Structure 1
């Protein structure tokens, strides 16, 4: 295995992979606030859930859900978008959910440098429980891909090390990022080969329609009810890390089946946590 990542010519090409409800939208807002970044919103998840296979139909129960689907979102279409030239961009950044590639890691672009964002399963699934109450989504996750999502994330981490030959992909823990954003982002940028800028600490409050992000014309961003719910509203209305209401407190009762999923998710999370960038 090589000991260093070979940076391609042109802009830095970066992906961050996470599980749901892991502050990943806030990280995307932070990267977008740099002013030199071309942003991609969950391109592989869009293919998996809202492209031709329409996997999300098993779990959606929302009005006007047709607005979320678009058959153009194939993996080959995404590959073309990610590898386009974007004049003026110093960074090509894609925020991705590992659910979108769980069946085939090989669809992932090899010329991107990969990184990971994790959050303690109890906090992530508590946030998911609150989300389920705010929109009409299927609350029974027993058969949902989220059941093994932390295992998928760890599997993909090992895949990046082995099949993609990238040593020690950087990992950020969401709690560290929210509590000490300047330290974490500075170290993250250094690990990803880009310059840190204080612009990454604050951004303007927006709604989904104001974001000029690729792949935001399908999925959650394209559905008004969902984009205005807890799914996205805090990250979009907030103006920095830790500057949005904390809606993941102990007042949310976690259903028994989720408690079991949380327990089963801990080993994979703890393995990744031990490898994280420390503040």
Structure 2
């Protein structure tokens, strides 16, 4: 048998989500699996910081934020980073499909709103998974980060949950094996052992109960994450990964805030999202 036939192929997993949906917490948790290598929000970086970015079409607050982030000294950035000027859709696809000798799992976490007009750039050989969160919770949390919320001005023709539902449909039409794998954030928080075990078994990641608790801080991402330099520098301004990086476990989920307690923009956006959220929710892993 030839060497190429016996060559080791790592498990490759895509985690698609939306901001403020526990995607980074789940990614941090799985970062403790032996032999894993994490490519963090590469398509999202194309959208926000790469030469093909959509910020040119709107979102001036976010554009200013990213420009400020790019001016921060990178002396303290210890994570393996890529430079923005190379981050195109083709570069991301090639990077995700590349060989990684010695790695057992290539885990790519990304923003689902970055891919709808570039479905031909979806990397081959991946098991695609999704995480969803109740729209009221997600949107309310999103609104708290005023810079991040400027992404609403980027001119998406569909709402975010519709984009996710359409991607699920597209992948099913492509005959995606072992699909769909959809996790609801509340289920993950309230039943972490059951949901995480099912998720790992579905995609080929080794599971053990040690994954239910981890260390606070960013030491693990310094070890095996690959991420945009501007995104990491921007975190020093926006602290958008603060809660995720300081986490040590999946905490029980809270109830959605009452309608009377939240801004009308959250109510309106949540109502638009709910039909697509329910469609995805019905396909989720059950506790």
TM-score range, shorter chain: 0.7 to 0.9
Q: Secondary structure at the match of 1:104?
A: helix
Q: Secondary structure at the match of 1:218?
A: helix
Give the equivalent residue in structure 2 for 1:64.
68
Quick one: structure 1 residues 253 and 129, their matched pair in 2 at CA, closer, same or farther if it must change by over 3 Å? Answer: farther
TM norm structure 2 = 0.82
State whether residues 187 and 195 of structure 2, in contact with CA within 8 Å, keep that contact through their aligned partners in structure 1.
yes
Q: Secondary structure at the match of 1:64?
A: helix
Matches within 5 A, 1:64-83: 64-67=68-71, 70-83=84-97
> Given the alignment of the two structures, is residue 93 of structure 1 paired with residue 111 of structure 2, yes or no?
no
State whether residues 127 and 247 of structure 1, in contact with CA within 8 Å, keep that contact through their aligned partners in structure 2.
no
Deviation of 1:146 (Å) = 9.4
Question: Deviations for 1:155-214, whole angstroms, at most 9, x for unmatched residues?
Answer: 000111112533531100000001111110111111112321223222222248846411
Deviates more, 1:116-125 or 1:188-197: 188-197
Distance 2:260 2:84 in 1: 34
What root-mean-square deviation, in Å, do the aligned CA atoms of Structure 1 and Structure 2 show?
2.9
State whether residues 84 and 228 of structure 2, in contact with CA within 8 Å, keep that contact through their aligned partners in structure 1.
no
> Given the alignment of the two structures, is residue 107 of structure 1 paired with residue 121 of structure 2, yes or no?
yes
Distance 1:157 1:26 in 2: 22
> Given the alignment of the two structures, is residue 275 of structure 1 paired with residue 283 of structure 2, yes or no?
yes
TM norm structure 1 = 0.84
State whether residues 52 and 88 of structure 2, in contact with CA within 8 Å, keep that contact through their aligned partners in structure 1.
no
Distance 2:38 2:53 in 1: 23
Give the equivalent residue in structure 1 for 2:270.
262
State whether residues 16 and 96 of structure 1, in contact with CA within 8 Å, keep that contact through their aligned partners in structure 2.
yes
Quick one: structure 1 residues 29 and 137, their matched pair in 2 at CA, closer, same or farther if it must change by over 3 Å? Answer: closer
> Given the alignment of the two structures, is residue 160 of structure 1 paired with residue 159 of structure 2, yes or no?
no
Q: Secondary structure at the match of 2:106?
A: strand
Q: Secondary structure at the match of 2:227?
A: coil
State whether residues 147 and 261 of structure 1, in contact with CA within 8 Å, keep that contact through their aligned partners in structure 2.
no
Structure 1's unaligned 5+ residue stretches are: 1-7
State whether residues 70 and 230 of structure 2, in contact with CA within 8 Å, keep that contact through their aligned partners in structure 1.
no
- The size of the alignment, in residue pairs, is 265
Deviation of 1:16 (Å) = 0.9
Give the equivalent residue in structure 2 for 1:131.
145
Distance 1:247 1:215 in 2: 32
Q: Secondary structure at the match of 1:71?
A: helix
Deviates more, 1:164-173 or 1:209-218: 209-218
Question: Deviations for 1:216-241, whole angstroms, at most 9, x for unmatched residues?
Answer: 4232x2314345x2x21000011111
